[in-house]
Amino acid sequence: MEAIRERAAKSGMDFIDFWAVDFEWQPGKPFNHHWQDYRTRKDRSLKTVSDAGHEYEQPGTYTACVKVVDTFGCDTSIAVGIISDSVGG
C-alpha cells in the first residue's frame, strides 16, 4: 500500500485507465461519449487534454460531464458549467 500511495502522490494520472467527456450532459439523461481516451495493454499513454474541438450550435450555458475510471475499476463523474458566447464557440 505504501508504494501505491507514493506513486499516487507523484502522479495520480498513472491510475486513470479511461476518461470521457459529454459536452452537452443533462441530469437524468444518458451519458453520451462525445470524446474519450483510454489505455490499452500495448499503449499505456493517455491524453490529458481533449482534442475533440467541440463547438456549440448556439450561444448559451451548457453543462459538460467528465467521467473517469481508474485502474481499480472505480468510476467517478463531475459536471462543469460552460458558457458559449458565440455560435461555433
So what's the pLDDT on residue 4?
63
Does any domain span residue 1?
no
What value, to the nearest 5°, has the Cα angle with vertex 81 and ends 78 and 61? Answer: 145
**Residue span of the structural domain in which 32 resides:** 13-84
Q: For the domain that residue 27 is a member of, what is the CATH number?
A: 2.60.40
pTM (2 decimals)? 0.76
CA distance 53 to 89: 10
Does any domain span residue 70?
yes
pLDDT per residue over 18-29, tens digit each? Answer: 999 999 999 999
Of 80, 87, 69, the closest CA to residue 25 belongs to: 80
Q: How many domains does the chain have?
A: 1
